[in-house]
Amino acid sequence: MTITYRSYLRLPELLTVQTPLSGVHDELLFVTIHQASELWMKLCLHELGEARRRIAADDVPPALKMMARVSRIQAQLIQSWEVLATMTPADYAAMRGSLGSSSGFQSDQYRQLEFVMGNRNPAMVAVFDEPEVRERLADELARPSLYDETLRLLARRGLPVPAERLERDFAQVAAPSSAVEACWATVYGRPHDFWDLYELAEKLVDLEYHVQLWRFGHLKTVERVIGFKTGTGGTAGVPYLARVVEQRFFPELLDVRTSL
C-alpha cells in the first residue's frame, strides 16, 4: 500500500469528526478550535511526560528542549483565543443550546496537564464519568509531578530540599516552602555552578507564564462572548476563571524573584 499525505495523516477520518449539531455557521469554528486545542494538549502531555522522565534520570538537556517546545505550543493555544473571539455574543447564543451540559471544565487532557505540572486536586477526578479517564488521572496523581521531580533533582545535586517535599502524598498541592525558595536562591545566585538547574528553572517559569496567559485569554474571551452568564457545565463562568488565574504551579520560583 502506498503511503500518501492523506493516508499518513488519516485525513479522511480526521476531517469527518467536525460535526456541528445546530446548523449555525459559527459552530464549525467553535468545534475546530476546541478539537485543535485537544490535539495540541496531547502533544504537550507527550513532551512533558518525557521531560519529567529525563529529569528523573538526571538527563536535563533533552528535557529543556521538550519544555521549550511546550512553551511554543502554548503560544499556539493562546493565539487560538484570538480566533475564537471573532464569535459574537449573538453567534454563540444561536448555537449554545447544542452544547448541552458540555464544558471545557470536562477536558480530561487539560486536567491531566495541570496534574503533570503540579496543580493537583483529587476532587477533580470525580468530574469524569469514564472509568478509563478516572484511572488515568488517579495514576497521574499518584506519581511525582514535573516540579516534584525537579526538586528531587535539586536534592541529588546537594541542595537542602526538605525531606517532606521529596517523599509525600503527591496527590496534594504542597504549601510554598521558604526552604525550597532558598534552594532556588542558591541556583539563581550561582548560575555558573548550577547552569542546567538555572536553565531548568527558567523553562519552568516559561511554562507557568504561558499557562497564565492562556488562562487569562480564556477568561477575556468568555467575558467578551457570554459576559457573566453561568458556564454550560454549571461553573460560575467568568468569576470561576478569574479564581483559576490566581492558581500557581511553581510558587517558590516566583517568590524567589522578590528575595533575590
Question: Which residues make up each annotated binding site for heme?
Answer: 218
- Please count the CA atoms within 13 angstroms of the CA of 258 that sit on its side-chain side: 6
Nearest to 146 by CA among 190, 77, 223, 211: 211
C-alpha cell at 30: 467553535
- Residues marked as binding? 30-34, 92, 96, 218, 232
Closest by CA position to 151, among listed 251, 69, 258: 251
Write the CB contacts of 140 (distance below 8 Å, at least 6 apart in sequence). Answer: 112, 115, 116
d(CA 167, CA 40): 32
Measure CA 19 to chain center: 26
Residues 6+ apart with CB under 8 A from 49: 116
Give CA–CA dist 147/137, Å, rounded: 17
Q: Is 230 helix (H, G, I), strand (E, B) or coil?
A: coil
Known binding residues for substrate are 30-34, 92, 96, 232
